[in-house]
Copies of this chain bind each other. A is one copy, B any other.
Amino acid sequence: MNAEEFRQRGKEMIDYVADYIENIQERRVFPTVEPGYLHQLIPDHAPEEGEKWEDLFKDIERVIMPGVTHWHHPQFHAYFPTANSYPSICADILSDAIACTGFSWACSPACTELEVVMMDWLAKLLNLPEQFLSGGKGGGVIQGTASESTLVALLAARHKAVHDYRQTHPDVKNDEEVAAKLVAYCSDNAHSSVERAGLLGHVKIMQLPADDKHSLRGDTLQEAINKDKSQGLIPCFVCATLGTTLSCGFDNTKELGTVCEKEGIWMHIDAAYAGSAFICPEYRYLLDGVEHAMSFDFNPHKWLLVNFDCSAMWFKDTSYMVEAFKVEPLYLRHNNTGSVPDFRHWQIPFGRRFRSLKLWFVLRLYGVKALQEYIRKHITLAHEFEALVVKDDRFEITAEVIMGLVCFRIKGPNEPNEKLLKLINEDGRIHLVPSKINDTYFIRFAVCAKSTESKDITYAWSVITELATGIMENNQ
């Protein structure tokens, strides 16, 4: 494909994409394909000769689309949203064309420097404490996913804890002797990736019970620390969550942070989903306590119209990550090594894309007010759904609705709810996933798509009640 052909085909793709997004509601939100469907539709090896664009292009509808779960369908209410916006797509085209690999400043100064400034823009939008901004010991970086940020924070905390312990215990022979005693904490409502970070980073993670509002509290943490310390363990890390996947619960980061500071423990805050809402002054209170955190992360690629991947992470002091795992061979050194951030040291992967362009395009073309309105609209829609649930006394709300997630269930035992969810997803008009806390099974309704409107909320509720009524009548 030469440049002339790209001008034609690229524009065809732009039109295809606009058509796809504009008419997405005509598609079934969740596909009906069975495992292995795709390999039956295409050859089992690459072609020797190049194929025609037309043949490839028509295969998008024949091969790909039947197997797509349409995350941007107004009837998609599963998981949490993943962002998708036209400005972000435009920025990614530019990023792809520049196609630099930003492992060091010299690899493309613009790639590093725009990221520094964009992370400061975002930090100011969230009113993060000054220490998280660039210019001092702290700073922000774009990670791929919140799960990587959790792992990065855990590894930095692990390193710090081992280092600190050996400073005060010169008799200890090696790092592993300390590492074997390390222990970290999160709520039993935390995302699976926190537990996994512990497995990957070789630190035992204790899942502590959240309170009846799905919030991990300071006294619970303090108790656990006391008990573990009395058994010779070394507490090193707490991952607090603001907006859990299970129910959009909020850990009490003020209480947890106070304990962590007293005990010299690294607190990381994972606000993957809810973090975007903190750009609205009326939701900023939910972030109180961040001043006690050593690191903080949220995903603009979830709820701030920046396409995946763009997970925004800040450190109060980058040195624990950057210095601990730094390897610097000659071929990577440049004239400004040491005086500018080389972001490969801040992350797990070596290479990195020019992702700050997406943030720049979205923040400038929408502006802060429009982004705030976007967040508020989703939360309003969630409350509209909540009101429908509350009005129907066969159902109950299982967690306070604070953001764009509503957790609900048919009153009584789990089984009808399991049956209802199964029916909903087989029916295929809307798509939802379940959750469970303390053996209570419930259904999560997330406002996800950019195009979701009030009518989609009432539509979803009509589908749910239609199917639920069928179940209840059959049970009578």
Other A-B pairs beyond A51-B364, A63-B114, A82-B100, 20, CB < 8 Å = A4-B18, A9-B90, A13-B93, A13-B94, A17-B97, A35-B109, A46-B125, A49-B369, A50-B366, A50-B370, A71-B98, A89-B96, A89-B97, A92-B93, A96-B307, A144-B351, A145-B351, A147-B350, A195-B327, A199-B324
**Contact partners of A353 in chain B: CB under 8 A:** 308-309
Docked complex Cα distance between A350 and B148 (Å):
8
- When the two chains form the complex, which single residue of B5, B66, B106, B329 contacts A192, counting CB atoms closer than 8 Å? B329
**Contact partners of A38 in chain B: CB under 8 A:** 109-110, 113-114, 116-117
Which residues does A use to contact B, with CB under 8 Å? 1-7, 9-11, 13-18, 20-22, 31, 33, 35-39, 42, 44-51, 53, 55-56, 60, 63-69, 71-72, 79, 82-90, 92-94, 96-101, 105-111, 113-114, 116-117, 120-122, 124-125, 144-148, 151, 155, 174-177, 179-180, 191-193, 195-196, 199-200, 202, 245-246, 307-309, 324-325, 327-332, 336, 339-340, 348-351, 353, 357, 360-361, 363-370, 433-436, 441, 444
Docked complex Cα distance between A50 and B1 (Å):
36
* Cβ distance A127 to chain B, nearest Cβ, rounded Å: 11
Inter-chain contact B349/A116, CB cutoff 8 Å: no
Among all A-B residue pairs, the 6 with the closest Cβ atoms: A67-B110, A176-B180, A147-B350, A38-B113, A50-B367, A10-B14
**Contact partners of A151 in chain B: CB under 8 A:** 348
A-B contacts, 10 of them at CB < 8 A, read A20-B98, A36-B113, A38-B110, A44-B120, A50-B367, A79-B101, A82-B99, A89-B96, A192-B327, A331-B444
Inter-chain contact A6/B18, CB cutoff 8 Å: yes
**Contact partners of A436 in chain B: CB under 8 A:** 330
**Contact partners of A48 in chain B: CB under 8 A:** 367-369
Inter-chain contact A68/B108, CB cutoff 8 Å: yes
Docked complex Cα distance between A26 and B136 (Å):
38
Residue of B nearest to A110 (CB): B67
Describe A's contact surface by its main secondary structure.
helix
Docked complex Cα distance between A261 and B420 (Å):
52
- When the two chains form the complex, which single residue of B69, B113, B155, B176 contacts A179, counting CB atoms closer than 8 Å? B176
**Contact partners of A339 in chain B: CB under 8 A:** 35
Inter-chain contact A68/B98, CB cutoff 8 Å: yes
**Contact partners of A96 in chain B: CB under 8 A:** 17, 84, 88-89, 92, 307
Inter-chain contact A363/B7, CB cutoff 8 Å: no
Inter-chain contact B11/A11, CB cutoff 8 Å: yes
Residue among A71, A99, A146 facing the most chain B CB atoms (10 A cut-off): A99
Inter-chain contact A3/B31, CB cutoff 8 Å: no
* Cβ distance A60 to chain B, nearest Cβ, rounded Å: 7
- When the two chains form the complex, which single residue of B101, B114, B155 contacts A308, counting CB atoms closer than 8 Å? B101
Docked complex Cα distance between A105 and B92 (Å):
25
Residue of B nearest to A49 (CB): B367
Inter-chain contact B367/A47, CB cutoff 8 Å: yes
**Contact partners of A7 in chain B: CB under 8 A:** 14-15, 18
**Contact partners of A328 in chain B: CB under 8 A:** 192
* Cβ distance A214 to chain B, nearest Cβ, rounded Å: 14
**Contact partners of A111 in chain B: CB under 8 A:** 67-68
Docked complex Cα distance between A346 and B435 (Å):
24
* Cβ distance A315 to chain B, nearest Cβ, rounded Å: 16
Docked complex Cα distance between A98 and B308 (Å):
11
* Cβ distance A443 to chain B, nearest Cβ, rounded Å: 10
**Contact partners of A49 in chain B: CB under 8 A:** 367, 369
